[in-house]
Structure 1
Amino acid sequence: MIYILRHFKVKDNSKIWLNSREFNDWVKEYDLFELEYLNLHLPSKIDKTYVSSLARAIKTAEHLDIAYQISDLLTEVKSKAFINTNIKLPKWLWLFIDRVLWFFNANSSENRDMTHKRINEFIEKIDLDDDIFIITHGFFMKQIVRQFKSLGFLCDIDIRPKNGKIYELSKR
């Protein structure tokens, strides 16, 4: 069984409308914002826990008080402004355009091929017969779940994975 958790919700009180420089600064600072911690009931059997190397995932694991291994392979897909401009756009639009560029392999910080290579590298390193617990990030989570499904795992995941919700992936 594989269990996957999107880190706890980030308390983001920053402004919504940002120019490109402000957006890039926000992306860097986002990982350092405070989290909304939850008390979760963890699965009774976990052989290994892997956690993204980003601070919000590590803080989530520390709050859960579990032994874990940090992996750079589980970090969120990198984001950055697609154009340098003083025109202010809402954060959601900056992120949406960034993900569209990612999908078409046109994103210079990380494209779809790079993400899938990273996912496959992680999957090759783990034992799929173990009960694995993964703490990662929303967009990346959707991509890794898609890959696990292609390997025969079943999972009902929300269109937008919820922070602090444990999703179960079971073998067919």
Structure 2
Amino acid sequence: MKIGLVRHFKVGHQPVSGRMSGEQFNAWAEEYNQSNIESGEFSSSEQVWEACFSSDLPRAIHTATQIYTGDIIYTQQLREIEIVATSQTGMKLHRSIWLALGRIAWYMGHSSQPESRGSTLLRTQAVIERLERDFGSSNVLLVTHGAFMKVLAQQLALRGYNGKRIFYPRNGELYIYEKDS
């Protein structure tokens, strides 16, 4: 079985410069989630994909429809790990600081984040189990998001899949994980 992971194409949403409150950061994150993509190039290495799953967020949907010509299965299970500001006080920080604090809070299991790390791991395991059960000998393409993709790749490796280790998933790049039957 081969599983191809693709991070959505670059998002056309403008990053906010300067500092913002936690409330402003959350509003920015929601706008980002609803933003469209900039068209990109995709090299599938001539791989034939029997099925394609995509996150149901707009940036992944638009990417999937550009890189896959067949029917696409859209699912919340491939959504990005949601991130929110860790504090709603009047404190103002740069967007990148809010992002880093949110990811650290998620990793540490802080209650400020909508999804716990444990829940994310269960979600990735459910995705893999579904693919193995329903598409065991097929090549399946997954269009998803950066942070979730990293967790998914780690879980695939733990299940015996071989593939390139992902440090920072690049937009529109294909990462193939393969497991012998």
Category of TM-score, reference length = shorter chain? over 0.9
Per-residue CA distance 1:9-31 (angstroms, 9 max, x = gap)? 11232313221111000111102
Confirm or deny that 1:13 pairs with 2:18.
no
What are structure 2's unaligned runs of at least 5 residues?
A: none
2:173 alignment partner in structure 1: 165
Q: Distance in 2 between matches of 1:106 and 1:128?
A: 36
- Identify if the C-alpha distance between structure 1 residues 124 and 65 changes in structure 2 by more than 3 Å, giving closer, same or farther: closer
Deviates more, 1:97-106 or 1:10-19: 10-19
Per-residue CA distance 1:35-71 (angstroms, 9 max, x = gap)? 1211323343111100001111001112225221011
Query: Deviation above 6 Å: which 4+ runs of structure 1?
Result: none
1:129 CA drift (Å): 2.3
2:125 alignment partner in structure 1: 120
2:57 alignment partner in structure 1: 54
2:160 alignment partner in structure 1: 152
Q: For 2:137, what is the secondary structure of its paired residue?
A: coil
Q: Distance in 1 between matches of 2:179 and 2:47?
A: 18
Match 1:80 to one of 60, 81, 84: 84
Percentage of identical aligned residues:
28
Match 2:104 to one of 78, 100, 103: 100
Q: Distance in 1 between matches of 2:12 and 2:89?
A: 27
Q: For 1:37, what is the secondary structure of its paired residue?
A: coil
2:151 alignment partner in structure 1: 143
Aligned residue pairs: how many? Answer: 172
1:35 alignment partner in structure 2: 37
Q: Distance in 2 between matches of 1:87 and 1:97?
A: 13
Q: Distance in 2 between matches of 1:154 and 1:91?
A: 35
Q: For 2:125, what is the secondary structure of its paired residue?
A: helix
1:32 CA drift (Å): 2.4
What are structure 1's unaligned runs of at least 5 residues?
A: none
Q: Distance in 2 between matches of 1:136 and 1:96?
A: 20
Confirm or deny that 1:69 pairs with 2:73.
yes
State the TM-score, normalizing by the size of structure 1.
0.93
